[in-house]
Amino acid sequence: MRRVASLPDALAGGVRVGPYAQARPGALLLCVPEVARYLVRDGNSIEIAVEPGADPSAVLLYLHGGARGALTHQRGELPLHAATLVPPGADYGVAICGVSGAGKSTLAAELVRRGWSLLADDMTRVTAEAQGIMAWPGDGVIKLWQDACERSGLDVSELPRVREDVDKFFWTVPVLSGPVPLRAIVELSPAGAFSRVDESGAGRLALISENTFRRPHIAALGRMKEHVRIVAQVAGACRVTRLQGTRSIPLAELADRVTATHW
């Protein structure tokens, strides 16, 4: 990562892949108004031009989100939209994924309170290594909305905001320092009555691909073949489970069910 004085407002040969992002094979330009511009290239560099007066927390938020996600895609790795934790006494990770607002971080905070160890929140970098599918550490914070903080007994007056203009906060917790084998991927699906489905075959592939961070960026970055390959590798190595109706039961009961499962 390198700070620079300025970056362009358009990416030559790029196509728009989101409200702030343009991409082409080998490069992604992320322009966030009043925050910063980020140029991610070739899986090995991120340049940042910070806007005058920008909120430092917001600068880091987009660096660890969209910019790092693009870097991971460019390397042919999998940025999973998931909080990943290690159960007490275990040597493997369980990734908790789902759409924004599904409750990933809220459940992660509850599991940390029960003795689970945090590996990463919101986005987990997953790689295929000789020793298997590995999940890598994030930055040691869980992002929680104010109501989730209050349910966890956290005083928001002592926590930094994710952005100055939103009631979402960083809760810093101990984080593991090295990668662990990824054993299971659990999707939270809030709607409906509670049920549990262990996916197989094409369902495993679909769930993993659907929960890829910044999925619309893949084709524009020219990394679709690499994405398909690593999704297949992860699907072949991990248990893939869908929990339906996670909003229909209390958080404590959901955490009980996850904790009681032999992953």
pTM, whole model, 2 decimals? 0.93
Residues 6+ apart with CB under 8 A from 109: 142, 144, 148, 152, 171
pLDDT at residue 100, as a whole number: 84
CA–CA separation, 128 and 147 (whole Å)? 37
List, for residues 126-163, the tens digit of each pLDDT value: 999 999 999 999 988 899 999 889 888 899 999 999 88
CATH topology (fold) of 79-260: Rossmann fold (3.40.50)
For the ranges 78-82, 146-150, 231-235, which has the lowest average pLDDT? Answer: 146-150
Task: Report which of 182, 220, 190 is spatially closest to residue 85, judged by C-alpha positions.
Answer: 182
CA–CA separation, 248 and 179 (whole Å)? 33
- Mean pLDDT rounded to a whole number for the chain: 94
List, for residues 211-220, the tens digit of each pLDDT value: 999 999 999 9
How confident is the model over 241-252, as a mean pLDDT? 95
Where do the domains of the chain lie? 2-75, 79-260
pLDDT at residue 101, as a whole number: 83
CA 219 to chain centre: 19
Cβ atoms of residues 93 and 85 within 8 Å:
yes
pLDDT at residue 129, as a whole number: 95
